[in-house]
């Protein structure tokens, strides 16, 4: 159980817009956008361990950013808001 509250809908919208901008920038620069299965699983293992105290298993979201982790973790451009895993640079 997690007592933390997710961000307000306006902040979630800003977070999604930021992610879309980073994906667009990465795409335009010819970089890889999608994480490999291994990269995705590495991130997911960290989130599911709840070392951050911010993982919500019932809907697979992060309470810090409010993101759906199935999507967030699949994008190379994204990073953990608390620094537990990084974006993927090549």
The residues binding ligand SF4 (CB under 6 A) are 46-47, 52, 54-55, 62, 64, 80-82, 84
Residues paired with residue 61 on neighbouring β-strands, in sequence order = 56, 68
- Total residues found in the chain within this entry: 90
**DSSP SS3 for 61:** strand
Nearer to ligand SF4, 31 or 81 (CB): 81
Nearer to ligand SF4, 20 or 82 (CB): 82
Instruction: Measure Cα distances from 55 to 6, 14, 52, 83 in Å.
Output: 11, 20, 7, 14
Nearer to ligand SF4, 30 or 83 (CB): 83
State the minimum distance, in angstroms, from the CB of residue 27 to ligand SF4.
22
Tokens of 73: 């973790």
């Amino acid at each position: 159980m997690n007592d933390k509250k997710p961000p307000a809908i306006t902040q979630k919208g800003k977070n999604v817009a930021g992610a879309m901008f980073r994906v667009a920038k990465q795409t335009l620069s010819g970089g890889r956008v999608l994480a490999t299965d291994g990269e995705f699983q590495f991130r997911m293992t960290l989130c599911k361990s709840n070392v951050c105290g911010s993982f919500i298993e019932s809907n697979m979201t992060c309470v810090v950013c409010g993101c759906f982790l199935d999507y967030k973790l699949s994008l190379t451009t994204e990073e953990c808001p608390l620094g537990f895993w990084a974006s993927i640079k090549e």
